């Protein structure tokens, strides 16, 4: 039952440390009666896979999800292309650290954002566990839970050198996850304002030092107040999520997108001139206007206005570059919206 023991220790890591003794009793119960029935009734997606990711078996929740992707034969098949190489690495390294990822959704639904883990299973196989994270409240609870674990680690005394080393490894993993979550906007899952501004500052320093091209785009949803006033703030939040999904799926690497504030987004395009940024803006304006998301039974037509600015070495700072793009965005609004303008 070594695989079950590992699974129980993972559950302990995700639970309140005040319940350790109760969890040990649960481990004994699972070891005695078998974990299959318990795993079968979990709401989380659980699948047993080979070391190369080939599916062997799965629980009821994963079975219901797999019906949406019947062609998926390996674990990486249920992830987006941008994440598959990372999943293959996780399989080969047999890493037990959790990671956040998006799974393919059902038809027109948004992607499934999940907290994923690979755990040692029976006969040398691996147990894949994915728990859906789909709301601001859940993300906040995740941050609080991770921070609480960090504090509990600090309060624990060292019982032995081996135990202390294991706790140190677990604490580092929790702190890394906590920092990652703290950088993400909980509504759109893009970089939050603080992080995208820091990335902008770094890119400006890099472009200045190496005299490389850099362009940015400021995007604002047109008439967003009317969406909130007509359909309510819940519908407005869903529109923001849909725009966030489009940005994540349709910008190239190494471009970066973040929620700058309210209904405004900031895109960074390293090694790109204003012409390349304009091509991207034209494509995004069209894709967003054609999306027309269905929210609470209402088809909401959404358009955006974008302002583009190219970095001028020796002239621009990060804030002057941002101001020029912002001014160009307002010029696009004055020109009729649903368009982009390149700053001089």
Just list the catalytic residues.
263
CA distance 87 to 131: 16
CA distance 239 to 224: 9
Any residues with CB less than 8 A from the CB of 343 and at least 6 apart, and which?
Answer: 307, 308, 309, 310, 324, 325, 327, 328
- Residue 142 CB-half CA count within 13 A: 24
Give helix 2-13 / helix 20-33 axis angle, nearest 10°.
150
**Token pair in block for residue 231:** 């359909």
**Token pair in block for residue 239:** 């529109």
8 A C-beta contact, residue 199 and residue 259: no
Any residues with CB less than 8 A from the CB of 86 and at least 6 apart, and which?
Answer: 99, 101
Any residues with CB less than 8 A from the CB of 175 and at least 6 apart, and which?
Answer: 146, 150
List the alpha helices (DSSP H) in the chain.
2-13, 20-33, 36-40, 60-66, 81-93, 136-155, 161-182, 193-210, 224-231, 233-250, 274-291, 318-334
8 A C-beta contact, residue 277 and residue 269: yes
Q: Which of 210, 189, 194 is nearest to 270 (CA)?
A: 210
């Amino acid at each position: 039952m070594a695989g079950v023991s590992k699974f129980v220790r993972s559950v302990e890591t995700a639970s309140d440390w005040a319940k350790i003794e109760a969890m040990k009793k649960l481990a004994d119960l699972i070891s005695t009666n078998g974990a299959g029935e318990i795993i079968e009734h979990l709401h989380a997606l659980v699948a047993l896979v080979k070391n190369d990711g080939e599916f062997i078996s799965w629980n009821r929740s994963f079975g219901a999800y797999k019906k949406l992707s019947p062609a998926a034969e390996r674990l990486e098949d249920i992830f987006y292309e941008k994440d598959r190489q990372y999943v293959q690495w996780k399989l080969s390294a047999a890493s037990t650290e959790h990671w956040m990822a998006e799974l393919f959704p059902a038809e027109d639904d948004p992607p499934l954002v999940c907290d994923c883990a690979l755990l040692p299973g029976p006969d040398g196989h691996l147990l894949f566990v994915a728990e859906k994270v789909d709301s601001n409240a859940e993300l906040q609870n995740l941050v609080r839970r991770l921070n609480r674990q960090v504090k509990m680690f600090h309060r624990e005394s060292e019982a032995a050198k081996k135990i202390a080393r294991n706790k140190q490894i677990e604490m580092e993993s929790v702190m890394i996850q906590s920092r990652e979550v703290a950088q993400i906007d909980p509504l759109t899952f893009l970089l939050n304002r603080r992080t995208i501004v820091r990335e902008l500052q770094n890119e400006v320093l890099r472009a200045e030092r190496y005299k490389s091209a850099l362009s940015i785009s400021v995007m604002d949803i047109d008439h967003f107040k009317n969406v909130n006033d007509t359909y309510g703030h819940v519908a407005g939040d869903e529109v923001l999520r849909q725009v966030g999904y489009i940005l994540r799926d349709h910008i190239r690497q190494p471009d970066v997108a973040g929620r700058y504030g309210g209904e405004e987004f900031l895109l960074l395009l390293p090694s790109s001139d204003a012409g390349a940024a304009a091509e991207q803006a034209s494509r995004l304006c069209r894709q967003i206007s054609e999306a027309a998301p269905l929210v609470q039974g209402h088809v909401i037509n959404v358009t955006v206005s974008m302002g583009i600015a190219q970095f001028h070495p020796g002239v621009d700072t990060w804030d002057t570059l941002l101001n020029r793009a912002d001014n160009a965005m307002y010029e696009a609004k004055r020109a009729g919206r649903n368009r982009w303008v390149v700053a001089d």
